[in-house]
Structure 1
């Protein structure tokens, strides 16, 4: 009987330990599920986008720029104030936000893109827009550089002495926005916004039309890496950048900004939009530049291969230095194929259209 009692006690002990483990695993499973959902979806990206949008609204509504001192006989800030701008803010939103967005959506529909590609296209574009706008306005308010038309905005008191540094208190302008916007010259917001929106469209078209792609992503001979370039497609991809450049130049023509304001704003918008684009897409010289990075199971559709190459293999993102076709030509540019372990989820590239 003793052995039986011992076995029974051991059985009850194991059952009790298993019960406690099941309770712990229940809580751990819930937390783990939430953690996995958070890491495998793009929720964190949308949360960050919402925070940037909220920060931008607060910045515009409540923050005034730093008012740098000036002299009323400074020729650099004595240009006339253009009442009618060549590209007003309403037109800027149409040219650099709504038009590129419509063209991005239309391009994806014409290419029969998957829902995942639609999602990443929209997410990358909106991230580029809001991050550029937020950083531009933040720098504008901190620098507080006078615009070339500051004196025409300020309308300084006639008794203000020349050759003496004065501040905003000498201004008689009653319109709050017109006055304080005179200290938001650096960098150019029109320029950065134009290159953020239209620049993303240019990058997207370059990737989809394979303007700079070196190969098809399949092992080939070295001589086959030299592909024919389509000038028409290249010019089509260049056209959004030309539009952004024209918007930037118009700011100098309206005496809203100096050349350095426009140059810094343009470079800033281009750098941010390239950074935003590369977070979701391979580099343009990649053999699979038209396919976005795919990492989340929730993003794969039921009827989609989800990055599988037909042999049970998935493609995961690799470092930039490994993306190029090295090793005598023919190396796969974007991802390296391997069999994924059963307990490890790997980010696969979206399957070709």
Structure 2
């Protein structure tokens, strides 16, 4: 069943005055997406800097949290932002320039990428703080007081570490933020390449497939580094990776058809084009490349 276009002939969009103007602007533009993105960004920073995680009680004798604390990480948070955020953004931008993509395609691609990143970090941090799972290196971070019983449940008050971030970040193990962020950014890039090169269409050569999936390998290496640094275990990394790639797919599919569609390289028509079609006023648009009604919104065509 095809997605129905929103009819502007009834409801708030048909009203006169400022209410109708605002309603039409809301329907015709991507303002809701940008407002949602702004809310996600604000919420993420508030959680990241103001909220402390739930502190689970622990045993000092628990060998799963006795790993050493690595002062220097293989992929620091800053480098993770560069690897999974900045570099994919530059590659997306350069690819769009090379493809001579229209304004609409460039717009929704970058917007979808940003939504993928910020929605992922928001979801990840909410879960991290709610679960409060100790990291594998918690004991090294905690530096428990002498004579603390090893076989009795204790809480964070037995710790002597004075660095607030080092100590309390020890309860943010699940899920892995590095992994979710890596797969959100690099995963979106991989999905974009798959669509532009029709990787999931019949008779696509292996070279294109390898190029399209290369970002996923980079994301996997970032995720694996978290186990090597004893910041997370395999369970944390796996769940974080699933969150990241799932959000990336969700964000990508909001603007692009499924990867098996013969038109997978083209985004869905702009909201303005779909809105105008309700009035029968669709014009030739270089950004959409054709009339919105001719675009396969149902994703059902497989030929």
Over the aligned positions, Cα root-mean-square deviation in angstroms equals: 2.0
User: Aligned residue for 1:319?
Assistant: 298
User: Aligned residue for 1:249?
Assistant: 224
Aligned residue for 1:204, secondary structure, equals helix
Q: Residues 175-229 of structure 1: CA distance to partner in whole angstroms, max 9, x if unpaired?
A: 000000000000000000000000000000010111113xxxxxxxxxxxxx432
Paired with 2:270 and 2:17, the residues of 1 have a C-alpha distance of: 21
Which residue, out of 188, 192, 215, partners 2:176? Answer: 188
Paired with 1:291 and 1:181, the residues of 2 have a C-alpha distance of: 42
Paired with 2:200 and 2:150, the residues of 1 have a C-alpha distance of: 57
Which residue, out of 194, 213, 217, partners 1:238? Answer: 213
User: Aligned residue for 2:242?
Assistant: 267
Paired with 1:319 and 1:235, the residues of 2 have a C-alpha distance of: 29
Going from structure 1 to structure 2, the CA distance change for 1:238 and 1:306 (only over 3 Å counts) comes to: closer
Q: Which of 1 and 2 has greater Rg?
A: 1
User: Aligned residue for 1:21?
Assistant: none
Paired with 2:104 and 2:287, the residues of 1 have a C-alpha distance of: 12
Q: Residues 152-184 of structure 1: CA distance to partner in whole angstroms, max 9, x if unpaired?
A: 000000121110000000000000000000000
Q: Using CA pairs under 8 Å that are at least 6 residues apart, name the structure with larger relative contact order, 1 or 2.
A: 2
Aligned residue for 1:80, secondary structure, equals coil
Gap runs ≥5 in structure 2: 1-12, 275-281
Paired with 1:308 and 1:146, the residues of 2 have a C-alpha distance of: 54
Which residue, out of 123, 135, 146, partners 1:135? Answer: 123
User: Aligned residue for 1:4?
Assistant: none
Paired with 1:306 and 1:209, the residues of 2 have a C-alpha distance of: 19
Which residue, out of 44, 47, 58, partners 2:35? Answer: 47
4+ aligned runs moved over 4 Å, structure 1:
298-303
Show the 5 A alignment for 1:40-119.
40-119=28-107
Aligned residue for 1:66, secondary structure, equals coil
Question: In 1, are the aligned partners of 2:133 and 2:174 still within 8 Å (CA)?
Answer: yes
Question: In 1, are the aligned partners of 2:104 and 2:270 still within 8 Å (CA)?
Answer: no
TM-score (norm 1): 0.77
Question: In 2, are the aligned partners of 1:192 and 1:265 still within 8 Å (CA)?
Answer: yes
Question: In 2, are the aligned partners of 1:73 and 1:162 still within 8 Å (CA)?
Answer: yes
- Count, aligned residues: 284
TM-score (norm 2): 0.89
